[in-house]
Amino acid sequence: MTQQEQVTRGFEAAFGHQPDFIVRAPGRVNLIGEHTDYNDGFVLPCAIQYATLVAVSARADDKVVVSALDYDGQRDEFVLTETIEPQENKLWANYVRGVVTELQKRGHQLKGCNLAITGNVPQGAGLSSSAALEVGIGYAFDQLCQLNIAKADIALIGQAAENNFVGCACGIMDQLISACGREQMAIGIDCRTLGLTEVSIPAGMTIMMINSNVKRGLVDSEYNTRRAQCEQAAAHFGVSHLRDVTVAVFEMKKDQLDPVVAKRAEHVVYENKRTVDAMKAFNKGDIAKISQLMAASHASMRDLFEITTKEIDYLVELIDGVLQDKGGVRMTGGGFGGCVVALVPETMVDEITKLIEDNYQADTGLKETIYISGPMAGVDTLALEMA
């Protein structure tokens, strides 16, 4: 059964009629530029084929009724004209409630609706299943209520929901690429201006994502700590964000910083530069340069930002050992587990898959999951299939 059939059938089972329309919002993989977004810096993600689907129908009243198909059809229900409270025992529901709250804060007039949700973006894998859900819900209301919100603003609403309702002080990268991804293109994002630049994937290269399946714990609190350390460093340099600290200024003044804060800032300052350099290298098809930049990015996440795990480092070393300068590999996403991203020649996909299958579980006790996806388009509605 396709994902679209699944969400349609699930919707019909939950509500007894067909949906009016279906929204599809993708997850993402970040090629380089980690923990730079909330420092007003640069990132280079692309949307992927794994996505969250939201089936929608209008209701005659002010209720929003949600069926979570991936959680045994668990339901959430709230009224648009009453205060919308976070749910302690149903965390998935807070993404919907958060987005609705942020839409209403901005004065949008919303209508009651039935929603059924399903997704195949692996959760906790660093591939942005939460952002896909937030953007999917934002776009669903945009379409239902004809709000005409720009896709970048839907991303900002999703981010605000996560910051204010879910409690993770995330940046804008994940929601923005889920909203504004382009088929076959990675997108260089300037997280200060939200300017988007299409960046091509070198011919003959494939994007592999290898999930370490490390169970991520305390992610939000570690993430928020990193963000606070970056803000502390920015204050030391007298700027609003680390984006404004050049490598030269950093080197001159880093010694006056607390040593841990200095390490965090060093990662961000150099990662920003690497990301800008990577955009050029991708467009030129300079694989050796991409390889070097991705390796440096990983080392910096491991040694300076300290967000990798031993299993993630193992995967990177294993893949790097055969890839050498024919491709690049690094951890992707917020860290503390999740996925490694590898840009590999099509001709090496089987060899690398076998290498991982032969070694990862034997050496770490965890079983990997491998995903492959070219860059995909951002959020949209799907044409309804006739029953």
Q: Which residues bind ligand GAF (CB under 6 A)?
A: 30, 34-35, 37-38, 128, 170-171, 173-174, 333-334
CB of 303 to ligand GAF, least distance (A): 17
Phi, psi of 240 (to 5 degrees): -75, -35
* 67 vs 272 by CB, closer to ligand GAF: 272
The answer to whether 61 is annotated as binding is: no
Helices marked H in the chain — which ranges?
Answer: 3-15, 91-105, 129-144, 151-161, 173-180, 219-237, 247-253, 259-284, 287-303, 310-323, 349-364
* 119 vs 171 by CB, closer to ligand GAF: 171
| DSSP symbol at 333 | S
Length of the chain: 387
The answer to whether 52 is annotated as binding is: no
- Token pair listed for 287: 């694989």
DSSP string spanning 72-118? Answer: TTEEEEEETTS--PPPSS-HHHHHHHHHHHHHHHTT-----EEEEEE
Q: Is residue 174 annotated as a catalytic residue, yes or no? A: yes
* 19 vs 45 by CB, closer to ligand GAF: 45
Closest CA to 343 of 296, 282, 284: 282
CB of 173 to ligand GAF, least distance (A): 5
| Half-sphere exposure for 327 (CA within 13 Å, toward CB) | 27
Question: Strands 369-372 and 205-211: what pairing?
Answer: antiparallel
CB of 17 to ligand GAF, least distance (A): 36
The answer to whether 35 is annotated as binding is: yes
Quote the longest CA-to-CA distance of the chain: 67
The answer to whether 34 is annotated as binding is: yes
* 108 vs 192 by CB, closer to ligand GAF: 192
C-alpha distances out from residue 334 to 18, 109, 245, 256, Å: 38, 34, 22, 27
CB of 128 to ligand GAF, least distance (A): 6
Query: How far is it, in rounded angstroms, from Cα 39 to Cα 82?
Result: 36
- Write down the catalytic residue from 40, 76, 142, 174: 174
* 10 vs 136 by CB, closer to ligand GAF: 136
The answer to whether 293 is annotated as binding is: no
CB of 96 to ligand GAF, least distance (A): 18
The answer to whether 223 is annotated as binding is: yes
Annotated binding residues for substrate, as ranges? 34-37, 223
So which residues are the catalytic ones? Answer: 174
